[in-house]
Chain A
Amino acid sequence: SAVISQKPSRDICQRGTSLTIQCQVDSQVTMMFWYRQQPGQSLTLIATANQGSEATYESGFVIDKFPISRPNLTFSTLTVSNMSPEDSSIYLCSVDHGSGTKTQYFGPGTRLLVL
């Protein structure tokens, strides 16, 4: 499996500010994904981070609110912009790894609290 790290592991932010979350993988991967898990909820895909092109966003998520960068095959960032308390969640990056039908592995997550 791939080894995935995320920074920061947690943060407390003021409303109206922005936070950038980093995701680093120990090997080159084609697909990287960003998920959100709101309190008491399951995981929801925000977007797919594509290397060399714009991210692909799921319904209900927009680039202005969640800009994503993917400068190479081992790294991606997700920014949560103009935060409000409703953005308090765990944010997780994941990667497709393996051959054939790929398995998706998750990073350790970033727990965000917006006051």
Chain B
Amino acid sequence: EDKVVQSPLSLVVHEGDTVTLNCSYEVTNFRSLLWYKQEKKAPTFLFMLTSSGIEKKSGRLSSILDKKELFSILNITATQTGDSAVYLCASAGGTSYGKLTFGQGTILTVHP
């Protein structure tokens, strides 16, 4: 059975801190690893990673994939209160085309 595990499950930091969120996966027919930010209902797309070792960046957020060790990290530097959200990691693969297997999510709380 496909599996995605995120850690930590929750994290509380102060503005300006840097955080690293972890995601490990076991997925057959792996195609890609995706990161989403969920604040209220809809997950908002952050990154899609398909190749090992290539960092993707968007402002203060960055992510990288290690296909040998089957994990990915999401880094957020100089955190702001607006970064408070649930961060979801999902893997595309398995036997159902297009199916995303989601991790439990990391709840990030940034205090002023």
Contacts and interface: CB of A to CB of B under 8 A. Distances in A.
A40 B90 CA distance: 17
Where chain A touches its partner, the secondary structure class is strand
Contacts, number: 61
Contact of A109 (B42, B92, B103): B42
Contact of A101 (B48, B99, B103): B48
B42 A92 contact: yes
Contact of B43 (A43, A96, A102): A43
B96 interface: yes
Interface residues of A, number: 25
Contact of A42 (B32, B42, B97, B102): B102
Interface in B32-75: 32, 34, 36, 41-45, 48, 50
A18 B100 CA distance: 27
Contacts of A101: 31-32, 48, 50, 92
A43 B42 CA distance: 11
